[in-house]
Structure 1
Amino acid sequence: MEIISREDLKAGDHIYSWRKAKIYSHHGIYIGNEKVIHYTGGVVKKTGTRTLLDNFTSHSVMNQKTCPKCGDQLKIDGVISSCLDCFLAGRKMYLFQYNVSPSVFIGQRRPGTCTTAPSDPCDEVIYRAKFLLLHNGFGAYHALENNCEDFAKYCKTSLLVGKNDVHGRGGQATSLSVVGFVSHVFMPKVSKAVHLAADIGVREDAEKVSVEDLVARSKEA
């Protein structure tokens, strides 16, 4: 995990901060001028569409106080733009790493901090994030299958995996799944292999999808 200061931030960086005693992390794309585009499930339970895990993660994502810059964003679902202070909510900021080697990936103490996939150029990353913000086109939030880490990694790489994947797309989603949790507790070596196999940089079912096509798909769903 690499802590990054505000002075070292660059537009197009994928940043994250830990929540709930480091049980999970919240991810977003920094676009400059103290602004972050990120993906959230909000805090309002929608009957039939939210799981207990969705509600658990969503309740500590955002700053609990109304911000004079952002307003009250606690009840907003989907892709949103927040000031850096609201995004961090008083936590430390970390830089998500791209194009790491498999050995570095496996050597990480926590999942959801890096990927073997390379990042696209920053202008493409920012374009995708802003396009998804404009159209709110990343689909329905799900803590395991479609979350903030998935959003940020898509913006950085344009890579997606099949919707039917039961382990989700992101590293922390794999860790929070039953398979990931059991292997992490009882079989650490197996856990690392599971996380690597789930990484978008090595998955055979990962494919490049343009942001325009992604938004069109979400509207058809």
Structure 2
Amino acid sequence: MGLLSNRIKKERLKAGDHIYSWRTAYVYAHHGIYVGDGKVIHFTRGRGQEVGTGTALDLILLSSGPNRSGIPCPNCITQINESHGVVSSCLNCFLAGGVLYRFEYGVSPALFLAKARGGTCTLATSDPDEIVVRRANRLLSNGFRCYNVFKNNCEDFAIYCKTGLLVAEQGVVGQSGQAISIIGGPLAAVLSTPFRLVTANVYGMAATAVGVYCASRYVADIGNRRDVVKVEVDDLAAGLATGRLQAADSGNQLAFPAQC
């Protein structure tokens, strides 16, 4: 754990940890919650669901989810139910040959900005481990809305399990740091383009783009956002059926489309 890497050994894992593993040459990471006994609960596309982008990015996202090699795994074959996308897998199937990393919570602004990639840490603090595990197990039975790479992906699922926070407006990007990074990169390039009018210094333009990128990540982090609400997992499970969720921190009813 540290500035350059969140890599962790399997024997150091504890129930309630938010873990992830990079897929497809470090382009995309798959996230989940370690619940103990070598098991991970995580969120992916349910069978028959579209990935949700309609772009070449869909090819990358096909690598997410548990081992789908066609070879039965004796450790988790009886525990996989992909009808709603939330699944339980053994740790090895979750990693799918990748390296194990642990997501960091409650990091300082300096450490957050020093991280080159989104989707590895957050300014938000985690709830107690027993609450995290309860949320993950509850959602394993009830699902976690419809999968969408930008609004409701595996990292959003893990962050919710850790914090109980959801983005109130579904018309915007979700909590996912890696989704914000995907959007932030092109945004930085666009916003830094006017800088070319005043300088031809390539280093100056690069510094401006990096600054915009880091600022967009920082402002959009779930620990800074004002469009998030605390939702109890039982209320979320009930809201999946009714399309309305109860915000625990405000008592307000929130319109929240639950169906795909």
Shared fold by TM > 0.5? yes
Which ranges of structure 2 fall in alignment gaps of 5 or more residues? 193-208, 244-260
Greater Rg by CA: 2
* Aligned match of 1:218: 240
Deviation at 1:51, TM superposition (A): 3.1
In structure 1, C-alpha distance between the alignment counterparts of 2:172 and 2:217, rounded to whole Å = 13
- Alignment match of 1:107 (pick from 105, 111, 114): 114
In structure 2, C-alpha distance between the alignment counterparts of 1:116 and 1:207, rounded to whole Å = 16
CA contact (8 A) 1:57 1:143 kept: no
Is residue 2:133 matched to residue 1:126? yes
Which ranges of structure 1 fall in alignment gaps of 5 or more residues? none
TM-score (norm 2): 0.77
CA contact (8 A) 2:38 2:90 kept: yes
Aligned-residue identity in percent: 47
Deviation at 1:59, TM superposition (A): 1.5
In structure 2, C-alpha distance between the alignment counterparts of 1:76 and 1:59, rounded to whole Å = 16
In structure 1, C-alpha distance between the alignment counterparts of 2:122 and 2:81, rounded to whole Å = 29
1:111-150 CA distances to partner (integer Å, 9 max, x unpaired)?
Answer: 00000001110000000000011112x1000001000000
Q: Which has the higher contact order (CA 8 A, sep 6+)?
A: 1
TM-score (norm 1): 0.89
Q: How does 1:37-186 map to 2 (within 5 A)?
A: 37-42=41-46, 45-46=48-49, 50-52=52-54, 55-61=58-64, 62-65=66-69, 66=71, 67-71=73-77, 76-136=83-143, 138-177=144-183, 180-184=184-188
CA contact (8 A) 2:81 2:87 kept: no
Deviation at 1:182, TM superposition (A): 1.0
In structure 2, C-alpha distance between the alignment counterparts of 1:144 and 1:213, rounded to whole Å = 23
In structure 1, C-alpha distance between the alignment counterparts of 2:171 and 2:9, rounded to whole Å = 35
Is residue 2:200 matched to residue 1:194? no
Higher alpha-carbon deviation: 71-80 or 90-99: 71-80
**Cα distance, 1:171–1:119 mapped onto 2, change above 3 Å:** same
Deviation at 1:76, TM superposition (A): 5.0
Q: For this pair of structures, how many residues does the alignment match?
A: 216
